[in-house]
Chain A
Amino acid sequence: MTREHTVAVKSKGGSVTHCAGDRFAISLKSGEVKSVWADGSPITKSEFDAVLAPTGLFEIAEQPPAKPAAEKKGA
């Protein structure tokens, strides 16, 4: 099983809310970044392409780099 690529999204400008069907819903304030739908499930790249990109109002946000693993004390 392959793990789907997930993304973080932000609005291209201003606040924007989008809801499609019973599942996909997201509400973003200006400058806000979210990586999950309103129901808490992660936003996959394919969902972004199919659901959010066609609106022309959302873009993929740079995700903050993962924190490096803590160094062992006394190593």
Chain B
Amino acid sequence: MGIPSRMKDRAVVLSKLKQANYATLVTDVNLGAGKRFAPNAAVFGQPEPRYYNNREQTMKAHDYTTQIIETERELAEQLSFDGDTWLLAWMLAFGLGKVTTTQPNAGPNPTAYQHVFRPLDPATDGKDLPVTTVYTEVANVAALKRRLHACMVRELAIDFPPSSVVQVSCTLQGSGQITTGALAGIPALSAMTLLKSNDMQFFYGAQAGPTDISSEIVRGSVRFGFSWNPDDDNSRAPGGGLYRSRAWVGMPSPTLEFQRFVDDAASTPHDEWLAGTIREVKIVVEGAQIGPGPEKHKLEIRGLAVIPQGVRIGQSGDKSVYQYTISPEHWIKEGANDVLTVTVLNTESSYLV
């Protein structure tokens, strides 16, 4: 046996399509039409069996375990990628659960598509998150080439590290079931259309009219996250055997944090926090132009009604630095208005359908 080789053969193939239901996988043909990526970092999930054993009978019928039976199986994966606009949209589609796609400039620029993602509304849209089939090759051996059944994006995070490109990461939760075997016609590695952290514009202030405070943002401090906290307790229905059989949403948890330079003679964030002032926050990052333009690859995260916690954490030079934290309970639902929308522009014609 030689020295272990590099991991060049690992791959993830993602389909924009959702499964029709928990039992019906995305077909190999459709997976082959998907996108192949090599994650920057990955904890490829191993199927994790859970067992019953009879060790409780120690000092009774027998002293050692005599029987082990598998009762459940889990599978989770953690993936991190550079911020390609297709990948961003994919994670948001399966993480938030609802998307509306239009062509903002169909005639002159038919390859530009705008996807508006929202957390699904359990009251009207149903409480099941869409799930998809994910193909992974952990290494170039048959047993580690497998389709992960019924995966949802359990949680996602978008980071804006300084001097770099946007970073996206997610935790996938599958039903626990896998099918091994190589995917025939596996696509070539996808070219990535990346968004740069330094191109971020940060808006904050009055609702419907936030102002550009980009120059006051401490670079590298912005981080957005979302999770539906899926209902694990009820993810397995009787008759489901070893595997999960549904992905009900739980409590929605959007989070946003950032740090802001504030003039040392001002206490605005502190005062706003104590007053409970409702604000709007919007992050916009534009990238390469799509086709003839003027549309560009884009990410826009918008919190329409938030009450951030603003805590002075120190100072840098003659400026105070405030840590803004918008925790899940500080995203406000006002009537029928949206709480959170995330918009992505790219060249994919649809997600989920």
Contact = CB atoms under 8 A, between A and B. Distances in A.
Interface string A26-54: 11001000000011000000000011001
A22 B125 CA distance: 8
Contacts, number: 76
Contacts of B102: 14-17, 57
B128 to A, nearest CB: 4
**Chain B interface helix/strand/loop/mixed:** loop
Given A14-B106, A15-B106, A54-B336, A21 B100 contact: no
Interface string A3-28: 00000000000111111111111110
Given A19-B130, A21-B125, A57 B103 contact: no
Given A19-B351, A22-B18, A14 B128 contact: no
| Residue among A18, A20, A25, A27 having the largest count of chain B Cβ atoms under 10 Å | A20
Query: Contact size class for A?
Result: 20 to 34
B350 to A, nearest CB: 4
Given A14-B102, A15-B106, A57-B100, A22 B126 contact: yes
Contact of A50 (B19, B106, B124, B131): B124
**Chain A interface helix/strand/loop/mixed:** mixed
A46 B123 CA distance: 12
B339 to A, nearest CB: 14
Given A16-B101, A39-B20, A21 B127 contact: yes
Nearest to B104: A14
Given A16-B100, A20-B97, A22-B247, A38 B130 contact: no
B125 A24 contact: yes
Interface string B340-353: 00000000011111
Nearest to B124: A50
A37 to B, nearest CB: 9
A55 interface: yes
B271 interface: no
Nearest to A19: B352
B126 A21 contact: yes
| Residue among B97, B128, B350, B352 having the largest count of chain A Cβ atoms under 10 Å | B352
Given A24-B125, A26-B353, A39-B20, A18 B101 contact: yes
Contacts of A19: 18, 93, 98-99, 130, 350-353
B129 interface: yes
B75 to A, nearest CB: 19
Interface in B105-136: 106, 120-121, 123-131
Contacts of B352: 19, 25
